[in-house]
Amino acid sequence: MKLLVFSDIHSDKRALKKLMEIDADLYVCAGDLVTWARGLDTMAEIMKPRAEKMYVIPGNHESESDIARLCDRFGFTNLHCKSIEVAGAHIAALGYSSPTPFNTPGEYSEQQIAEKLKPFATLKPLVLICHCPPKDTDLDGLKPGAHFGSEAVRAFIDAVEPVRFFCGHIHECEGRDVMIGHTRGANVGKRGYLVDLALLEA
C-alpha cells in the first residue's frame, strides 16, 4: 500500500505532472498547490485522473473553503483536520501554517494548531501529515538560527511520537529526511515522498 505525499507545488505544472505519473495507492497534497489560491482549478485538472485516490489539505496559500470547494468539484477527499485508516495505519492531516509575516489565507495560531492536533494523539500507529514543519528541526530551518516551523507541531511529535511525519512549507528544506526523537520525518516538497505503509513499524 503505497502513499505519495507532496507539497508546495505553487502552480508548477511540470512538477505536478511528474508526480501524477508515479503509481501509488494514495496521494496526499499537503498544501500550497498554488500561490494566494490563484489557479487551483488548473492544477486540479492535472490531478483529476487520480481523483479517487487523491487527498488534499490547505497550505498557508489556501483557505479551508478553497480546498473544500476544490474537493467537491473534482472528486478529491478533503483530509484537513481528519484521519483515515489504511493498511493498519492511521493517516491524519492538518493544513495551514503557524503565523507568517505575509498574512496568507491559511494560518493558525500555535494554540489553534495544538487544539486541532489533539484528536490525533490516541491514533496508533500514526502517520501525521502537516503543511507546517516542527520548530527547531532540520525540516524548518532556512539557515542556522532561523527556524520557522510550529512549536505546537514539535510538541505534538515529541509527546506522541508518530511513526512517520511529513510536511512542506519551508522550501529550502525540501528533501530532508531526518529523525525527530523516535519519529522519522521528511519535508516532502514538490518532488514528493513515496512510502510503503506495509513496511511501517508500529
Q: Which residue has the cell 500561490?
A: 35
The band of 67, judged by pLDDT with boundaries at 50, 70 and 90, is very high
Average pLDDT over residues 50-69: 98
The band of 85, judged by pLDDT with boundaries at 50, 70 and 90, is very high
pLDDT at 202 > cutoff 60: no
Residues constituting the chain: 202
Which domains does the chain possess? Answer: 2-199 (3.60.21.10)
pLDDT at 63 > cutoff 90: yes
Element (H, E) at 3: strand 2-6
- Give the pLDDT confidence score for residue 142 in this predicted structure: 67
User: What does the pLDDT look like over 151-196, one tens digit per residue?
Assistant: 999 999 999 999 999 999 998 899 999 999 999 999 999 999 999 9
- Give the pLDDT confidence score for residue 143 in this predicted structure: 61
162: left (phi over 0), alpha (psi -120 to 50) or beta: beta
Q: What average pLDDT does the chain have?
A: 95
DSSP letter for 133, please. Answer: P
User: What does the pLDDT look like over 130-156, one tens digit per residue?
Assistant: 999 999 998 997 665 667 799 999 999
Average pLDDT over residues 81-85: 98
Which pTM does this prediction carry? 0.96
For residue 90, which of 79, 77, 76, 74 has the smallest C-alpha distance? 79
pLDDT at 97 > cutoff 80: yes
- Give the pLDDT confidence score for residue 50 in this predicted structure: 98
